[in-house]
Amino acid sequence: MLRNVSPGGESQLALVRRARRMDRVLAETYPDAHCELDFRDPLELLVATILSAQCTDKRVNTVTPTLFAKYPTAEDYAGADRAEMEGIIRPTGFFRAKTNSIVGMAQALCEHHGGEVPGRLKDLVALPGVGRKTANVVLGNAFGVPGITVDTHFQRLTHRFRWTSETDPVKIEHVVAGLIPKRDWTMMSHRLIWHGRRLCHARKPACGVCPLAALCPSYGIGPVDPVQAAKLARPGPFS
């Protein structure tokens, strides 16, 4: 069992209470939080999530309509002409590696799962190019299975919130799982990611307009003046 040592010196009970209060505030702030990748089924979400590595969701969404139309099934991806696929997904970066991952993933789906995306973590992470983060995105958003998505925004915020000092994504996932009720894992992940994209930026967070100011131990690392902070906010409730 992983034991979390609070970076702020709080008791575990105090940390759990603060983390849950922060999540409630984020739920009120981002009532429409959701996966920002466009998809219609588990396969589309799996492919889109693979493409989102080192790439914005917005850019992925400009590529996937063409990709999804050309390859509607796992069999289509498995037998795809690699050069043609590379040409479609080139704007997402690392297109050769991503093509290898998508084709390999699809071949494994056809060989082991009848061409269907499995709904279990252990089966998803066994697919080429699919790690825990990708698997949890698919489970939470395509299958309704609670999952924690530890991306760069999530890692940054859990450190700033002093929920954990762990740096390994799997350890962060397990620590946060002990702070937030399981039923809320998927939505909590969306809310933290939305907050990281809109206000709690990597270089200069918009502290002066942050709804978590009273609960965040890192308040003040960015501008606290509301006017200055508002200029840093990206599209959302504070823009």
Q: In this predicted model, what pLDDT tens digit does every residue of 79-93 receive, in sequence order?
A: 999 999 999 999 999
State yes or no: is 151 an active-site residue: yes
pTM: 0.89
CA 96 and chain centroid, separation: 23
pLDDT one-digit tens code per residue, 168-219: 999 999 999 999 999 999 999 999 999 999 999 999 999 999 999 999 999 9
CA distance linking residue 85 with residue 44, whole number of Å: 15
Determine the Cα–Cα distance for residues 84 and 178; give it in Å rounded to an integer.
45
Give dist(CA 137, CA 144) in Å, integer: 10
Q: How far apart are CA 76 and CA 79, in angstroms?
A: 5
CA proximity to 158, closest of 3, 14, 18: 18
The predicted pLDDT at position 119 comes to 97
In the block, tokens 């795809």 appear at 80
DSSP state of 67: H
CA dist 125 and 168 (Å) reads: 17
Low-confidence ranges of the chain (pLDDT < 50): 1-2, 237-239
Predicted local confidence at residue 1, as pLDDT: 41
| Residue 2: per-residue pLDDT | 45
What pLDDT score does 9 carry?
78
- Determine contact, residues 132/171, Cβ cutoff 8 Å: no
Domains of the chain: 12-32+149-232 (1.10.1670.10), 42-142 (1.10.340.30)
Rounded Cα distance, 100 and 130, in Å: 12
Out of 76, 123, 151, 184, which one is annotated catalytic?
Answer: 151
Would you state the structure tokens that stand for residue 69, as one six-digit string? 């139309």
